[in-house]
Each structure stands twice: as C-alpha cells, then as structure tokens.
Amino acid sequence: MTLARRAALQPAFLIHHRDYTDSSRIVELLTRGHGRISLFARGARRAKSPLRPLLQPFVPLLVSWSGGIDGGQLVGAELAGEALPLPPPRLMSGFYLNELVLRLTVRGEPVQELFDLYAYALEDLRRGAGEQAALRNFERQLLEHIGYGLDVTRDAATGEPLEANRYYHFQPGLGLRAAGTPVEGEAAFLGADLLDVGEGRLESPDSLRAAKRLLRAALEHCLEGRGLRSRDVMLALRRLEAEE
C-alpha cells in the first residue's frame, strides 16, 4: 500500500531502524491504527535533532507522517507517556519481541489488538512479572494474530479433548496427536502441561517448558527456517553466564 496520506499523532513503537545517509534513518514502526510502517526520518541522526532522543526502542510514541506507509516521511514524534526503560537484564527479551513482530507481520496490516498485546508484554517485562511467561503469552497471541492459532485442547486426529495423563506429539501445521504409548522427555508433551498452556496457566516449570517447546516449534514453522538473531544472542549470553 503506497497511497499518499497524512497521519497525525498515531500511537507507535519503534521496532527497528537503520542508518540512511550521514544524517537520517529509516525507521520501522508498529502503529496502532496503521500496522507496521517504514518511514524516512530525515535528520534524525543529527546531534540537535528533536527526533534523535525519541526514536528509541520500547518508548511509547505519538508519531506523525506524510506520504505512504512504505517510504513516507516522519514529520514529528512525541512521547505518549512516561518513557520508563526496560530493566537491563530484560532488554534482549524486548528485542526478541521486536524481531518477532518485524518477521511475522505484514506491513500496512491493521494490528490494533496486537499493538495492545505488545504494549502489555513490555509492561510485564518492565514491572518484573515472570519473564518467560510474558514471552510465551505474547508468542501464542502473535501466532493467533497471523492465523496460526494453536488448539491445545483437542487431539487434531480425533477431535477428542486432551487427556491430562496422556502424551502427545506436535506436528507443525497439523496440531497435536496422541502418542502411541506414553513417552517421557523431549519427544512428547504431557496432556496436563498442554492444558495449562491452553488456559494460560504458566506458573509451574513443567508448563513453562512445555509452552516454550511447543511455541518454538510453531514459530520455526512460520519462520520457514529463518533464524532469529535476538534468540541467538540470548543463548550466547546464557552460555557466557554459565561459564563464569
């Protein structure tokens, strides 16, 4: 969509940016009313530019632009609320959310609900809520938004409700199917854990592990083999911490 337009004071978050010429940037924004858009921010790299301190990740903004949503001009930005930073240990989780949005949403597609879910996830990360639960909830809701919602209540082959004491295999694109015999370990999911995931009950270590494995498999299917840089960085940092 490249029709000319003007928009004023639209709620937005900066998802990604890259340098453009010596003084400008190209910014990728998640907006509440217009979805993900790409704009030129002229002069944003200059030391005295009013845009420079505002165009930062995880900061709630009100942005104005002219032109299309793909290659238009950012003409103004202001804070939409208190710009509370993410705690340093949770910055990589924030960048992970940004990369998921960048990779799995379509530019120009309205995303009011997803915008709100993203804002809630950032707030969870800010206020010290369970980090893993916040990430898993956002992953599940993002999958639903892009049309890949996971039914974690029924056997995809039979349509029967999951049984808490049975084990199930997950096949991306098909769903959950009962294992021939109860199998422990990485190859299968316990029904009780899957039911917790479906209800959003991610308090126990077992349900969190099940959610992480299940959602990772679904996301990898949607990404079609394209890795996530933020995930690789998080894994590398954890390896370094373990070696210290």
Q: What digits encode the pLDDT tens for the residues 90-109?
A: 999 999 999 999 999 988 88
CA-angle at 72, arms to 66 and 77, nearest 5°? 60
Tell me the C-alpha distance between 23 and 15, whole Å. 20
* pTM (whole model) above 0.75: yes
Query: What are the residues facing 110 on neighbouring strands?
Result: none
For each successive 10 residues of the chain (244 residues), what is the average pLDDT? 71 95 95 94 94 94 92 94 87 93 88 92 89 93 89 93 94 88 66 92 92 92 74 51 47
**H or E stretch at 30:** strand 24-31
Strands across the sheet with 189-190, in order?
175-178, 167-171, 189-190
Tell me the C-alpha distance between 193 and 101, whole Å. 27
Q: Considering only CA atoms, which of 218, 216, 194, 220 is closest in space to residue 206?
A: 194
